[in-house]
Amino acid sequence: MIYYFSGTGNSEWVAKEIAKNIDDIAINIIDIIKSEKDNITITKNDSIGLVFPIYAWAVPEVVKIFIEKVKVEDGAFSYAICTCVEEAGLALKKLSKYIKLNSSYSIFMPNNYIIGSDVDTNEVANKKIQEAKKQIENISLEIKSKKSNYQVSNGKMPFIKSNLIAPAFNKYARDIKPFWVEDTCIGCGLCERNCPTDCISLKDNKPIWNGKCYQCLSCINRCPEQAIQYGNKTKNRSRYYFK
């Protein structure tokens, strides 16, 4: 089984492509969490894959919550694939302290973190997706043959980024207060329906944020009117989600 988390579709696409190639099933972690299923045991002849984006050189909190439910028995094959713009830091090495990982991979995908910088150009985004397709083929073959591998782009100064910046991101940067909506909002409710933590609701036909946010940026990137903003950082930036 492949379990994935995805805000803007990159990791969902990777998970589903791998599932197709290895004849497996891809399931959204959010559906498992909402179903309140408590225990998932991966028995010795079985395999488990985790696919998710990198957030601030770390594994998203929701993936950590999910793996607390998972028990991997000796002999089972387990792997993690993260999607990122270019640097995963030590995220996967740290994850392997909580769940046994035979293999870890990172795949470069288009940028969705428009709070930090603008989206990739079409040329860069398309090139990444073409490269990712080839990498997915290779990774699928390795998973099928249960080959162990560590093929992760740690990036520069990964120790500092994953050990110091990542905790600070989770503590301070996932603030919902800077979200606001322009008058161009048409009240379609897509942001509310897509929010993995159900922290968006509509009031007077406009979204309001209340509660826990993973900062997956699904709301802001998928808004059909580009009406959602985050402070003053996103006004002049484009939007991205996997199409």
Ligand X SMILES: Cc1cc2nc3c(=O)[nH]c(=O)nc-3n(C[C@H](O)[C@H](O)[C@H](O)COP(=O)(O)O)c2cc1C
Binding site for ligand X (CB under 6 A): 6-12, 53-57, 83-87, 109, 111-113, 215-217, 242
Closest contact distance (angstroms) between CB of 217 and ligand X is 5
**Closest alpha carbon to 149 in 135, 160, 159, 161:** 135
- Dihedral of CA 46/60/101/22: which sign? positive
For 70, 74, 85, 117, 122, the CA distances from 129, given in Å and listed in that order, are: 31, 35, 11, 19, 10
Measured distance CA(206)–CA(186) in Å, rounded: 8
Closest contact distance (angstroms) between CB of 162 and ligand X is 9
**Shorter beta-carbon distance to ligand X: residue 77 or 242:** 242
**Shorter beta-carbon distance to ligand X: residue 3 or 242:** 242
Residue 76 contacts residue 46 (beta carbons within 8 Å): yes
**Shorter beta-carbon distance to ligand X: residue 3 or 77:** 3
Dihedral, CA of residue 142, residue 146, residue 147 and residue 151, to nearest 10: 60
Closest contact distance (angstroms) between CB of 110 and ligand X is 6
**Shorter beta-carbon distance to ligand X: residue 14 or 101:** 14
